[in-house]
Amino acid sequence: LIQNNNINQVDGIAITANPEGNSNARMDLTIRQNTIVANAYGGASHTNNGEIAISLRNAQGNSDLYFDVDDNDFDNYSGEFALAIVEVEGGDTTTTHGRINNNQFLDAHFGSPIGLNPDGGHTSGPGTPTNFDFIVSVTTNTGPGSMYGAGIYAVGYGGIAGSNPNAQITLTGNTFNAVPSGVYQRTLMVDFGGFNRGCFNITGNTLAAGNGGSNGLDFYYQDNVIMQLQGTTGSTDALATTRLTSTNTVAGGVFVGVLNNITSATCTTPTMPNPVP
């Protein structure tokens, strides 16, 4: 439990957790009601920048991570290099469950506030199938004053034929009103491919337009990926676009594509960490 702390003048990562190994090691982690402030932003690639506030990388072996990042304030972070201020990665044969809830991001100078990476990279060796569970919800987060990249991104690639990845991602009630300044950046971005598989529940979000007035919500999938969208009424990209447009407030419009093969499902919600005092 990491709670009610003031962590100031951070150069680098404030909190990092990397469960790993091949004996089903389990970590239960709660990070709540903290104020985490980096050094004053000094411009792109400045040596004193705080790049990442919280890094949760569960990408090795068959370890289990259960986390709750709740009601924290983040300020002065750049988000550069690793791209996100709060980042979560899961892959190989790991199990990753958790939520990022009710956090406030004041800046994301050269990156994104929240990054999800169910990447499925087969780190145990070439040709090894990827079988992982990545069950994460991102709810009621707000900010920032300015940001370079997407407010929220979820990127899933890796894996090979025969893999059985399972990404179940809920993105609801978030408000990101800043327009990304990075070229081709959208305010909420989903990008899945390879032999990945993803179920998404995306509702109730308020999103600015993307860079240059482009789509505020981009839902892109390709290759041999299997994609599901909770609440869609058919299997076409057009129907998924209608669903996302009607259940979110998005400036600049919504894009879904490109396989024209997206089906409805009820996405799994994460199991929270064991209770803490």
- Beta-sheet pairing, 112-117 with 152-156: parallel
pLDDT in tens, 196-222: 899 999 999 999 999 999 999 999 999
pLDDT of the residue at 82: 67
Look at 91 and 221; give whichever has higher pLDDT.
221
Burial of 23 (0-12, 13-18, 19+ CB in 10 A): exposed
pLDDT at 125 over 60: no
How large is the average pLDDT for residues 24-53?
92
pLDDT at 124 over 90: no
pLDDT of the residue at 165: 87
pLDDT of the residue at 144: 87
How large is the average pLDDT for residues 227-238?
96
pLDDT of the residue at 25: 87
Per-chain mean pLDDT for the chain: 92
pLDDT of the residue at 277: 63
